[in-house]
Structure 1
Amino acid sequence: MKKLSLLAAILLYSASVSANGIDALKAFIADTKTAQASFTQTVLDKSGVTKQQTSGTMAFSRPGKFRWSYQKPYEQIIVGDGSKIYLYDVDLEQVTIKQLGQALGSSPAALLAGDNEIEKFYVLADAGSHDGLTWLTATPKDKEGSFNQILMGFNQRTLAEMKIRDNFGLTTVLKLSHLERNPKLPASTFKFTPPAGVDVISDGK
């Protein structure tokens, strides 16, 4: 399964492990304007068998701007510039463009780069401590989306692990490293121009 699930792994935050999961998320929203990190991503099937492994880097600037660069094994870039989302598949030489709009609020990206109204789109619940981490679950209120639950595991002040469970029985596990909070990021980080010669597919709005 080569293709990556759009925005499936666009989730990251740091917060205090001493607080419960909901307090940790709210602290992140209040304290983190920008961030950047490296990540590894693993997709598991219903039986827990690995179907795909990828790695790359990410950055975000709240609200609404983010960049995910998948480097191995297939190169892919996802950029949100505050009004549109660009998905560039290098191998396919194809760029897909979508309006950001309400899609950000009801997608996993909202927990990363959205505004402060997280509970408008998610039901939040503490999920206890296990595997050395303190966990939170976020269940989307929009039942028409492609995923049904997000689990977030904290280690001290950093989100150490994410698990995104979709409606097709797949689980995407995201692990972060070298997280930097509130770095100064150039405006060019969140701008994208389709390369010459690629196919461009747009929603036309």
Structure 2
Amino acid sequence: MSKFLLPLAAATVIVAPVATAQTNPDLAAVQRHLSGVESMTAAFSQTDRNNQVLTGTLTLKKPGKIRFQYQKGVPLLIVGDGKALTFIDYSVRQVQRWPIGNSPLGVLLDPKRDITRFAKIVPSNAPGVVSVEAYDPSRPQYGRITLVFARQANAPAGLMLQGWVALDSQGNRTTIRLTDQKFNVPVDDAAFRWTDPRRQGRAG
């Protein structure tokens, strides 16, 4: 599997509850945003620590469905079918799967997950930016993920998801930036099917 994609597809984030007397209002707004988004489409760019960039389109539908369709000429695909997150490399006919709950993307895909119990707001000098980090200091080997939002009145809960940063325990950073975000749009379940390269004609 490409090391470039590992933090995105496979880095497990197991987070411990954060003890707070009162939920931060920005964190509560992020929770409302995540709870209010049932589907999303967007264009994305993905950058690794060597500044290699791939682009493509993102399709999301709760619960548990997501698709990263990479640019033409890139033989890679990441698909979540509601249960597992699957990485497909068509160039070597390789397929790898992980439970969605063990992926940082579970934060975006599980409508029942309450992030106010395990995440924290990252301080920022930019008043229009809200960043939320999920990390378990007792399990640093699992890395961390930071979601980045911009305050925007017409977005769900007044927040526009701009992307996220996944950092694994070796310091490998993968940054996802989103543009042309559309929320709660019709998305057909067929968008999350894929062709298994190990057996021609077989679909996931």
Name the counterpart of 1:74: 74
2:187 to 185, 188, 192: 185
Q: Deviations over 1:148-173 (max 9, x none)?
A: 34242424231224222221112222
Q: Which runs of 5+ in 1 are unaligned?
A: 11-18, 45-49, 201-205
Q: Which amino acid aligns with 2:105?
A: A
Say if 1:161 and 1:174, in contact at 8 Å, map to a contact too.
Answer: yes
2:35 to 30, 35, 56: 30
Matched, 1:42 2:47: yes
Q: Name the stretch that deviates more: 51-60 or 158-167.
A: 158-167
Name the counterpart of 1:140: 135
Q: Which amino acid aligns with 1:165?
A: L
Q: Which amino acid aligns with 2:130?
A: W
Say if 1:64 and 1:80, in contact at 8 Å, map to a contact too.
Answer: yes
If each structure's strand is expressed as a fraction of its own residues, which one has the higher value? 1
1:112 match: secondary structure:
helix
Superposed displacement of residue 179, structure 1: 0.5
Q: Label 1:31 to 1:114 Cα distance change in 2 as closer, same or farther (>3 A).
A: same
Q: What is the CA–CA distance in structure 1 between the aligned matches of 2:25 and 2:106, rounded to whole Å? A: 20
Counterpart mapping for 1:96-175 below 5 A: 96-98=96-98, 100=99, 104-119=100-115, 123-131=118-126, 133-141=128-136, 143=139, 146-156=142-152, 157-175=159-177
Q: Label 1:21 to 1:129 Cα distance change in 2 as closer, same or farther (>3 A).
A: same
Aligned pair count reads 181
Q: Label 1:192 to 1:145 Cα distance change in 2 as closer, same or farther (>3 A).
A: farther
Q: Which runs of 5+ in 2 are unaligned?
A: 11-23, 153-158
Which 4+ residue blocks in structure 1 deviate beyond 4 angstroms? none
Q: Label 1:20 to 1:40 Cα distance change in 2 as closer, same or farther (>3 A).
A: farther
Say if 2:69 and 2:77, in contact at 8 Å, map to a contact too.
Answer: yes
Q: What is the CA–CA distance in structure 1 between the aligned matches of 2:52 and 2:5, rounded to whole Å? A: 11
Superposed displacement of residue 37, structure 1: 0.5
Superposed displacement of residue 117, structure 1: 1.9
Q: What is the CA–CA distance in structure 2 between the aligned matches of 1:152 and 1:38, rounded to whole Å? A: 16
Q: What is the CA–CA distance in structure 2 between the aligned matches of 1:9 and 1:96, rounded to whole Å? A: 10
RMSD of aligned alpha carbons: 3.1
Q: What is the CA–CA distance in structure 2 between the aligned matches of 1:133 and 1:93, rounded to whole Å? A: 44
